[in-house]
Amino acid sequence: MAVSEFSLIKRFFTRPAKNKQTTLSIGDDCALLSVPSAYELAITTDTMVENVHFFPDVNPEDLGHKLLAVNLSDLASMGAKPIAVTLALTLPEVNEQWLQEFSTGLFALADKYQLDLVGGDTTSGPLTLSIQAMGLVKSGQALKRCSAKVGDLIYVTGTLGDAGLGLKVKQGYQMHDSESVLAQFNKPLPKVNEGLQLLNIANACVDISDGLAADLGHILDMSAVGALLNYEQLPVSKQLRHYIEQTQDWEMPLRAGEDYELCFTVPPEKAFELDIQCTCIGVIDKQQGLRLNKQEQIVDFKTLGFDHFKEI
Ligand code: ADP
Ligand code: MG
């Protein structure tokens, strides 16, 4: 790495460690993290590529936030507590103002969870940003996709489809009151605390990055079960309700991605223990596949053309 890149890392990305698990941070060939006995290290990576995952006119502060948020959302869905991240940056040029804003957005969210940026890599090329996030979860307690049980109730946090509507606004859809849906698209809040609260309550959990039908589909496949969803119970904002009335695009809350809410299943006898903002939207049953109860009619998702196996 060239000297200028080293000073760039020092200037924009090096700060004193805050997390007690960080025993060695930026500066050596590797960072060192201690993992307390009886805990497992949960690890995830997500990459964002310009023109694929974000628009060239994106606000760099929002981008720093979102890159970290999408990674923390994966930790949240496992019920892991974030401790540290590494950052791989591929930059077409060294733009100090861009780096300043990007790191401000990233650290503002990192500070919420006392997590450290402990290392990374910096290269030159088309703008590509990658974070690897690490978290702790008590051994054997992580919320996996494979353990939903017949009879479990299905829940989601927050509302569905707002980020998708924010994307439509970016693409030219005109509406009043677009601030909150744009915020959901640009600066999603990972449901880290919610994930931690679901430990010992939820049987299975996933975060909604590709859309409710697709992501719940992963739980169903991996748990070898099916589900019946109640369309009228899906939590939607007044903006999304208005959009659906205007466009008849009623599949938005099922299809739209990037909400980064959690979808999880809970045995009915534990439902009273839930103490987070969430909505019951259906039930796990043994008939495989996903079905939708809409206006008292039951339709199979396959006949709606849903296919959750995406190319990438
Ligand atoms: P090496 O060549 O040994 O891989 P580098 O010269 O790439 O090391 O990096 C020097 C130090 O700076 C390392 O500790 C590395 O983890 C850290 N680093 C490099 N790029 C970044 C980045 N974008 N964010 C945070 N730390 C970084
Ligand atoms: Mg390196």
Asked if pLDDT for residue 2 goes beyond 90, the answer is no
Q: Are residues 172 and 134 in the same domain?
A: no
Q: What is the reported pLDDT for 220?
A: 97
Q: Mean of the pLDDT values across residues 192-196?
A: 98
Q: Regarding predicted confidence, which is higher, 309 or 214? A: 214
User: Looking at ligand 1, which residue's alpha carbon is closest to its atom 13?
Assistant: 27
Contacts from 267-275 at CB under 8 Å and sequence distance 24+? Answer: 267/149, 267/151, 267/152, 267/153, 267/203, 268/151, 268/152, 268/153, 270/201, 271/153, 273/201, 274/155, 274/201, 275/197
In angstroms, what is the span from residue 10 Cα to ligand 1's centroid?
Answer: 10
The pair of three-digit structure tokens given for residue 52, joined into one six-digit string: 């694929």
Residue-wise pLDDT for 22-74, tens only, equals: 999 999 999 999 999 999 999 999 999 999 999 999 999 999 999 999 999 99
pLDDT confidence of 308, banded at 50, 70, 90?
Answer: low
In angstroms, what is the span from residue 258 Cα to ligand 1's centroid?
Answer: 29
In angstroms, what is the span from residue 4 Cα to ligand 1's centroid?
Answer: 12
In angstroms, what is the span from residue 109 Cα to ligand 2's centroid?
Answer: 24
What is the pTM for the complete model shown? 0.95
Q: Mean of the pLDDT values across residues 77-99?
A: 97
In angstroms, what is the span from residue 116 Cα to ligand 1's centroid?
Answer: 14
| Domain containing residue 71 | 5-138
CATH of residue 87's domain is: 3.30.1330.10
Residue-wise pLDDT for 233-268, tens only, equals: 999 999 999 999 999 999 999 999 999 999 999 999
Q: Mean of the pLDDT values across residues 202-221?
A: 96
Probe target for ligand 1 pocket from 7, 11, 12, 26, with the most ligand atoms within 8 Å of CB: 26
Give the pocket of ligand 1 (CB within 6 Å). Answer: 1, 9, 13, 26-29, 87, 89, 117, 119-122
Q: Are residues 191 and 280 in the same domain?
A: yes
Asked if pLDDT for residue 311 goes beyond 50, the answer is no
Asked if pLDDT for residue 305 goes beyond 90, the answer is no
Q: Are residues 160 and 104 in the same domain?
A: no
- 148 falls within a domain: no
Q: What is the reported pLDDT for 302?
A: 78
In angstroms, what is the span from residue 179 Cα to ligand 1's centroid?
Answer: 37
Q: Are residues 134 and 264 in the same domain?
A: no
Cα–Cα distance, 76 to 246 (Å, whole number): 34
Q: Are residues 116 and 201 in the same domain?
A: no
**Of the candidates 113, 99, 109, 84, the residue with the CA atom closest to the CA atom of residue 11:** 99
pLDDT mean across residues, the chain: 95
pLDDT confidence of 232, banded at 50, 70, 90?
Answer: very high
| Spatial contact of 184 and 257, defined as CB atoms under 8 Å apart | no
- 143 falls within a domain: no
% of the chain residues with pLDDT over 90: 93
Last residue of a domain, one of 93, 111, 138: 138
To which H or E segment does residue 297 belong? strand 297-300
Q: Mean of the pLDDT values across residues 266-285?
A: 98
**Phi and psi of 35, rounded to 5°?**
-110, 115
Residues composing the chain: 312
Residues 6 or more apart in contact with residue 128 via CB below 8 angstroms: 47, 48, 49, 50, 88, 89, 90
To which H or E segment does residue 219 belong? helix 212-223
| Spatial contact of 241 and 180, defined as CB atoms under 8 Å apart | no
Residue 210 CA to its chain's centroid (Å): 9
| Spatial contact of 131 and 71, defined as CB atoms under 8 Å apart | yes
Q: Are residues 99 and 157 in the same domain?
A: no
Q: Are residues 296 and 159 in the same domain?
A: yes
Asked if pLDDT for residue 189 goes beyond 90, the answer is yes
Q: Are residues 186 and 54 in the same domain?
A: no
Counting ligands in written order, the one closest to the CA of 6 is: 1
The pair of three-digit structure tokens given for residue 4, joined into one six-digit string: 């200028």
User: Looking at ligand 1, which residue's alpha carbon is closest to its atom 2?
Assistant: 1
The backbone region for 63, taken as left when phi is positive above 0, alpha when psi lies in -120 to 50, beta otherwise, is alpha
Q: What is the reported pLDDT for 312?
A: 45
Last residue of a domain, one of 76, 109, 138: 138
Q: DSSP characters for 85-120?
A: EEEEEEESS--HHHHHHHHHHHHHHHHHTT-EEEEE
Cα–Cα distance, 288 to 92 (Å, whole number): 47
Q: Are residues 111 and 168 in the same domain?
A: no
CATH of residue 221's domain is: 3.90.650.10
User: Looking at ligand 1, which residue's alpha carbon is closest to its atom 3?
Assistant: 29
User: Looking at ligand 1, which residue's alpha carbon is closest to its atom 1?
Assistant: 29
| Spatial contact of 212 and 154, defined as CB atoms under 8 Å apart | no
